[in-house]
């Protein structure tokens, strides 16, 4: 007999997967000074806009796209397409593509 599967509720309404390897290769590239990784800059912007608790940013291993001078992300609510975010992209522009979910 298998063990009981436990369900733990969260406040998240959205999950964003960001490739850690892409971020590491860029050595920054995002944020106001251009010295933050995309996940760090995204979390900072989410905190500033009051959405930090509703969107979970998770760094993953390589997602297989491996763009040059960009970071691959995947919106958990739209798994049919990955996004390659070029270094220097304003995080606010990225968040505009991730509209708040109810």
Question: Cβ closer to ligand FES: 31 or 67?
Answer: 67
| Smallest distance from ligand FES to CB 7, Å | 31
Say how far apart CA 76 and CA 26 lie, in whole Å: 23
Using CB under 6 A as the criterion, which residues of the chain lie in contact with ligand FES when the complex forms? 19, 21-22, 62-66, 72
Tell the smallest beta-carbon distance from residue 81 to ligand FES (Å). Answer: 14
* Assigned token pair, 6: 């436990």
Q: Which is nearer to ligand FES, 38 or 46 (CB)?
A: 38
Q: Nearer Cβ to ligand FES, position 21 or 52?
A: 21
Least CB distance to ligand FES at residue 21 (A): 4
Asked whether 83 and 73 are in contact (CB, 8 A), the reply is yes
Distance CA 68, CA 33 (A): 20
Q: Decide whether 84 or 95 has the Cβ nearer to ligand FES.
A: 84
Residue 55 near residue 16 (C-beta atoms within 8 A):
yes
**Which of 36, 28, 11, 17 has its CA nearest to residue 98?**
17
């Amino acid at each position: 007999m298998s063990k009981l599967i436990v369900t733990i509720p969260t406040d998240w309404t959205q999950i964003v997967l960001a490739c850690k390897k892409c971020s590491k290769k860029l050595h920054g590239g995002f944020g106001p000074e251009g010295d933050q990784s995309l996940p760090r800059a995204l979390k900072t912007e989410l905190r500033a806009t009051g959405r930090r608790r509703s969107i979970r940013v998770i760094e993953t291993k390589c997602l297989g796209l491996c763009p040059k001078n960009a970071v691959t992300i995947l919106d958990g609510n739209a798994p049919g397409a990955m996004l390659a975010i070029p270094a220097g992209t304003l995080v606010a522009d990225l968040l505009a593509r991730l509209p708040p979910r109810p």
